[in-house]
Amino acid sequence: MSKIQSVAVIGAGPAGATVAALLAEAGIKVAIFDSGKRPPLLVGESLVPAIIPILRRLGVEEEVKEFSVYKPGATFFPTSSEELTYPFSRTKGNLPPYAYNCPRNLFDNALLRAATRKGARLVESNVSLEKGTRPDSVQLSEATLESTDGFFTKQPDMVIDATGRARVISRLLDIPSKDGERRDVALFAHLEECSLPCEGNIHIDRLRQGWAWRIPLPGRLSLGIVLDQKHLEKHGKTAEEQYDSFRGSDPILKGIAGDLKRITPVQRYNNYQLVSKRAVGSNWALVGDSSGFIDPIFSSGLFIAMDGAEHLAAAITKGTPNALRKYERYTLQHLASWHEIVSYFYNGRLLTLFRLGREMQNSTFGRVMDPHLQKHMGRIFTGAAATAKYSLGLLRIMTSYGIAKRDHRLLRIN
């Protein structure tokens, strides 16, 4: 495989902008193709501490800080009267003890500007991809190539699909994928600003059906509900009808946000659990949601996307088939690990474990073990759990044997 000298990145979201910035920084000729069209709202407004080092590498943390809400931790409500709060400062390690809650349009624009500052060319055009002349390859259509105004005089050496759920290359080449076990729907919108029990934290509320997030943003509150489609159908036909009706009828949501004015349209997302069975090919690679996406419960989606972009940029810079295969293994394993962690939330094991940990602090043994458990269990909230083998292994043990005498089904998500 000859050295990769030119790359087309399809999609200017966080994954695409990050990989483009890092490749351009390494001296590779990069064009980012993007139509400029965005939904009015995007999932991924609450960051995790594991993203902060990437923002620093891109030179955008201070800019992101200016338009965001400081996020010191996460708060869970297994029941309406029970609060479990985890400050990031409890997790000892190399990550900062904070993250940010940010408007996604401003966040995405900051990353894209970083990419162009580092030398990537933004081509504001719709993209048309075709199957290439070689097996398992893709190429830009002639019209797409011409839209670069001479930046690309021939086909780029590599095409990166960063189109998110559009999954352009996977659809073109019929790349197989694996669905998750759940078929949840997420509806979310922005409401007028309100105070929350733990300032700056993302708040997760377990509902009678499904769960909800509350994310404080500058001047507003992002409120999302995630549940099975069949429970929404009786609340109306449109996303707005279902969202407003469910918010006004669910006893928990009615108590915490039923009177707040909705100030945006309602955005709908279907099925948060899908993973491609491949992430690289002859002259292409998938990154971010194009390679797979998971449930938003732990705010890990953007980290998975941007972390994957870092690993892909390193593999392309190295330019060997082995480096790209290593990226593929890492990406698919990272997604699989997060799917496993998410399953512990839905089956009730994780909330049962957190509740047990709080109770253990009243015993001598619990106080001795607490620092160790806090360090490793806290990596779920910082975003590092899926890449820390010991932490993930400890989580598996604790959600099995550690809660063996507890009925975790009492805290499952219906």
The 10s digit of each residue's pLDDT in 380-406 is 889 888 888 888 898 999 999 889 889
Give the list of residues 6+ apart from residue 74 with CB closer than 8 angstroms, or none.
85, 86, 201, 202, 203, 204, 299, 381
> What are the domain boundaries of the chain?
6-40+50-67+102-177+273-341, 184-270, 347-411
Give the list of residues 6+ apart from residue 45 with CB closer than 8 angstroms, or none.
101, 102, 103, 104, 215, 217, 222
* Tokens encoding 170: 């996977």
Q: Give the model's pLDDT for residue 88.
A: 93
Total H helices, total E strands in the chain? 15, 19
- Rounded Cα gap, residues 236 and 223, in angstroms: 19
Q: How far is CA 14 from CA 44, 105, 239, 257, in A?
A: 10, 10, 26, 30
How does strand 6-10 pair with strand 73-79?
unpaired
Q: Give the model's pLDDT for residue 388.
A: 83
Are 370 and 361 contacting, i.e. CB atoms less than 8 angstroms apart?
A: yes
Of the pLDDT bands very low, low, confident and very high (cuts 50, 70, 90), residue 308 is very high
The 10s digit of each residue's pLDDT in 265-287 is 999 988 667 889 999 999 999 99
Fold designation for 6-40+50-67+102-177+273-341? FAD/NAD(P)-binding domain (3.50.50)
- Rounded Cα gap, residues 85 and 400, in angstroms: 22
* Tokens encoding 23: 């490749």
- Rounded Cα gap, residues 128 and 11, in angstroms: 12
Q: How far is CA 333 from CA 68, 244, 277, 294, 386, in A?
A: 31, 38, 11, 13, 9
Q: Give the model's pLDDT for residue 383.
A: 87
Look up residue 306 and give its amino acid: M
- Rounded Cα gap, residues 301 and 307, in angstroms: 10
* Tokens encoding 32: 């980012």
Whether residue 191 has pLDDT greater than 60? yes
The 10s digit of each residue's pLDDT in 124-179 is 988 999 999 999 999 999 999 999 999 999 999 999 999 998 999 999 999 999 88
- If we measure between CA atoms, which residue out of 71, 96, 85 comes closest to residue 217? 71
Bridge partners (DSSP) listed for residue 190 = 222
Q: Give the model's pLDDT for residue 183.
A: 78
- Rounded Cα gap, residues 143 and 414, in angstroms: 49
Share above pLDDT 70 across residues of the chain, in percent, rounded to a whole number: 98
- If we measure between CA atoms, which residue out of 342, 353, 344 comes closest to residue 398? 353
* CATH number for the segment(s) 184-270: 3.30.9.100
- Rounded Cα gap, residues 203 and 84, in angstroms: 10
Burial 249-286 (b: 16+ CB within 10 A, else e): ebebbeebbeebebeeebbbbebbbbbbebbbbebbbb
Q: Among the ranges 202-211, 227-236, 348-357, which has the highest mean pLDDT value?
A: 202-211
Question: Average per-residue pLDDT in the chain?
Answer: 92
